[in-house]
Structure 1
Amino acid sequence: MGKQNKKRQLWHKTPHDGVPGIYAATQRFLYQFQGPAQLGDRNESAHVAPPDPNCPACRQPLQDHHITPASPGKSSHMQCPPPKPQLG
């Protein structure tokens, strides 16, 4: 029986293999510890926003709300409309 000479691989394959330069060398080294980016399942379809979203606070359509955009030093602000009267 012949002995198989299989070279033992110490490092994982990276997207930076074969790229010259100190930046690529650093990325190859860090990839061994960090691994690939955690982006989720690549076979999963992209998120599709609903055509008429509702406000999470008052459950009314967002198109009925008044949104004040952000300005320097201030955050944006959304004002809910008054509640609609209940029928019945």
Structure 2
Amino acid sequence: MTNHPTIGLLIEQLQLFAPDTPCVGHIWVADDFDDVAPELTADEVLATIALADASLDADTSLSWYFLRHCADTILAAREEKN
């Protein structure tokens, strides 16, 4: 996974809308994974964010539980390599 969502990309997407457009959102950044899954390496955090972005379902939400599940998926891949 080489394309990681970034604040810059989010800003570009948001600029497509008028500044007074109503919206709702929640942003998680790499530093948040110190609480979600501190055992992740920096590269695994990026992989977890990319997985979360690719598999997010509005019915599931972007919750602590969902992010932990994504982190567990990445950690399981680490274990399979070893």
TM-score by length of 1: 0.20
More strand by share: 1
Larger radius of gyration between Structure 1 and Structure 2: 1
Higher relative contact order (CA 8 A, sep 6+): 2
More helix by share: 2
